[in-house]
Structure 1
Amino acid sequence: MSTAEAMTMSTAVPMQMEVGIERLRLRNPFRISGYTFTEVPVAVVTVESERGRGRGEAAGVYYLKDTPEGIVETLERHRSIIESGITRQQLLELLPPGGARNALDCALWDLEAKHVGVPVWRLAGVDIVAPCVTTFTLSADGPPAVVSAAEALPHAKALKLKLDGDLQMDKERVRAVRRLRPDAWIGVDANQGYSLEKLKAIMPSFVEAGVKLLEQPLPRGREADLEGFKSPIPLAADESVQGLADVRGLRGRFQVVNIKLDKCGGLTEALAMAREARRLGMQVMVGNMVGTSLAMAPAFVVAQLCDYVDLDGPVFLAEDRHPSITYQDGSVYCASNVWGDVK
């Protein structure tokens, strides 16, 4: 079977589905604007048929109240339809973007790879997979703690600082890390913490510190405030872009689209988003909501199409799955045996 044929497979077969919740312990509390996390619960979906067995993991979207409990409830509500046989295209029509669709979509990709004997990345139309430089995220703690965290990542080539909307503290965080790592690529994530006025006020300090990317400066719903704003640093939409339908509306406001599978509902839509963003002249980023290697592996496929990669989720966990993705010399790599293999 050719890759083109595999990508357009539409045959559905009966399957059995297992759904459960796992609670992932974090090594340390993780802070962003408005939230502190000590653990990350995720939903894990397994589907099995005569074709083989496929798995998917999703954390949901916390700020939309899309929880693992809700993911399980949604999938259980549609169990009879799913188990009677469903394709990825049919899934797009059955469920809205979000964690439930993500977990099941990724499980279906994994199952399909085993059925056709082609790794997922080939099914996705990716010619080759290679290590990608990934950002390593620093929690929005006080500057001394942020510097300590950065010191623990000497091999990181790219660092992303979480900010909390306190302009003075945010300036100090960025300056402190830049002093420590004059060689590193630095991006910042405001997590919706600024108004346009605050953004204009702090921008010169970001430029001075050599910040290369600024994620989601304004609250979701305030995208129009960026009309006509000429940012000297590329702005990436995160909360402002949930799925494919949102991409077109970002033009003229953001320069980068941050794709997360939990937001858009899986690898199928993530690939479509990446290609649409490219068509519209925007850059592409892939991120994560934190999770194990099982959640990062499908996003690693998307990473092959991206300008920016933020797939450091497992480094925050007390324990990851095995086999797992690997981090070396500031890059992330996911072998096919982690997920999406033909076996």
Structure 2
Amino acid sequence: MPVSLAVRIEHWPIAGSFTISRGSVTEVVTVVAELTDGVHRGRGECRPYARYGETPEGVQAEIEALASDIAGGLDRAALQSRLHAGAARNALDCAFWDLEAKRAETTVAALIGLPEPAPLVTAYTLSLGAPDAMAEAARAASSRPLLKVKLGGGDGRDPARIAAVRDGAPNAELIVDANEGWTGAALGQNLAACAAARVTLVEQPLPADDDAALETIERPIAVCADESAHDRASLRKLVGRYDAINIKLDKTGGLTEALALAGAAREAGLTIMVGCMLASSLAMAPAALLAQGAAIVDLDGPLLLARDREHGLVYEGSLMRPPTPDLWG
């Protein structure tokens, strides 16, 4: 049966605000692609990201441009070479997976040949702020087993911030995300402060186009590539600079490439982290399948929203239940 395409932009308010080194947001704008053959429906959600030159309107147009090709038989395999890695391909790739599962009356896990997904412990993110404010946020979240701490303030106070978070949450495992916000001059001091606070891992301390210093500096804790890592084409430059890789479907361009990247990264000796952009449960659902077996899971996007979509993921504290077919997969 021929497949038709619908694309829409959605707005999701954040509970309060969310701050990283690049600024603050109070709303998340996502793009949803929907494929239907008249009987079955498949959906995928992406978060266009300005850091990568994406806009919701541009991503929507990029997806809509393929409507006639999809009606003419373009499938998920052919999609991989039609669109570059990024948000647009992610939404369509995940919609194709969902539609394939619905048509086959099975699950995406079964289609791939994986065990059905199990519940996962996800990180919970603390926004960048003043040390006192971050300590208060850490105390409020101190019962969660894994906290992700946004740093990269650029004001020299990151050592104080991570020490304050550790004081506020003495028993939680901590990971840090600097979002490219550190400089080479401050790298050693900031990594030492993180090591002193018993941080497990630091994501993307330096800008993606200026991270060569990681090859020569002593790394007291694991360093994870985020903005430096997109798809398999980016993998070669990571070995020797990074210990781990944060795989996000909006960067890889969907679950298909993400699965391939995870396999290649493991072969290269890199630890796997699965992360997300801020988005609803529809964007998290395919990533939850990828995250099975990952060393670190960071899929708390819906927890940071003021509301989630119908049939959204169920979170019991930091324990994330697998998606139901009503949502995806």
Same fold, TM exceeding 0.5?
A: yes
Partner of 2:175: 187
Out of 6, 16, 35, the position equivalent to 2:23 is 35
Whole-Å separation in 1 of the counterparts to 2:116 and 2:220: 33
Whole-Å separation in 1 of the counterparts to 2:215 and 2:279: 34
CA contact (8 A) 2:136 2:168 kept: no
Whole-Å separation in 1 of the counterparts to 2:260 and 2:293: 11
Letter in 2 for 1:97: A
CA contact (8 A) 1:235 1:255 kept: yes
> How far is 1:228 from its partner?
2.6
Are 2:100 and 1:112 equivalent residues in the alignment?
A: yes
Whole-Å separation in 2 of the counterparts to 1:154 and 1:223: 32
Partner of 2:190: 202
Partner of 2:35: 47
Residues 251-290 of structure 1 aligned to structure 2 (within 5 Å)? 251-290=239-278
Residues 248-327 of structure 1 aligned to structure 2 (within 5 Å)? 248-327=236-315
Are 2:232 and 1:244 equivalent residues in the alignment?
A: yes
Q: Which moved more, 1:40-49 or 1:50-59?
A: 50-59
Residues 100-139 of structure 1 aligned to structure 2 (within 5 Å)? 100-139=88-127
Q: Which moved more, 1:256-265 or 1:83-92?
A: 83-92
Q: Which moved more, 1:261-270 or 1:165-174?
A: 165-174
Out of 218, 228, 232, the position equivalent to 1:230 is 218
CA contact (8 A) 1:51 1:112 kept: no
Whole-Å separation in 1 of the counterparts to 2:211 and 2:131: 29
> How far is 1:65 from its partner?
1.9
> How far is 1:172 from its partner?
1.6
> How far is 1:285 from its partner?
0.7
Whole-Å separation in 2 of the counterparts to 1:84 and 1:203: 53
Q: How has the CA–CA distance of structure 1 residues 235 and 108 changed in structure 2, closer, same or farther, with 3 Å as cutoff?
A: same
TM-score by length of 2: 0.96
Letter in 2 for 1:27: A
Aligned residue for 2:157, secondary structure, equals helix
Please report the RMSD computed on the Cα atoms of aligned residues, expressed in angstroms.
1.5
Aligned residue for 1:205, secondary structure, equals helix
Whole-Å separation in 2 of the counterparts to 1:24 and 1:98: 20
> How far is 1:328 from its partner?
1.9
Whole-Å separation in 1 of the counterparts to 2:37 and 2:137: 45
Whole-Å separation in 1 of the counterparts to 2:13 and 2:113: 35
The total of aligned residue pairs comes to: 329
Partner of 1:85: 73
Partner of 2:53: 65
> Deviations along 1:79-133, whole A, 9 cap, x unmatched?
2112222221100011001111000000000000011122112223322311112
Whole-Å separation in 1 of the counterparts to 2:108 and 2:185: 45
Letter in 2 for 1:83: A
> How far is 1:338 from its partner?
4.6
> How far is 1:61 from its partner?
2.3
Q: Which moved more, 1:20-29 or 1:120-129?
A: 120-129
Letter in 2 for 1:117: E
> How far is 1:154 from its partner?
4.0
Whole-Å separation in 2 of the counterparts to 1:198 and 1:110: 45
CA contact (8 A) 1:114 1:340 kept: no
Gaps of 5+ in 1: 1-12
Aligned residue for 2:195, secondary structure, equals helix
CA contact (8 A) 1:58 1:100 kept: yes
CA contact (8 A) 2:311 2:324 kept: no
Gaps of 5+ in 2: none
Whole-Å separation in 2 of the counterparts to 1:148 and 1:122: 44
> How far is 1:276 from its partner?
0.7
Q: Which moved more, 1:29-38 or 1:307-316?
A: 29-38
Whole-Å separation in 2 of the counterparts to 1:235 and 1:204: 12
> Among the aligned pairs, what percent are the same residue?
42
Partner of 1:211: 199
Whole-Å separation in 2 of the counterparts to 1:18 and 1:234: 42
CA contact (8 A) 1:54 1:109 kept: yes
Whole-Å separation in 1 of the counterparts to 2:302 and 2:225: 23
TM-score by length of 1: 0.92
Letter in 2 for 1:191: N
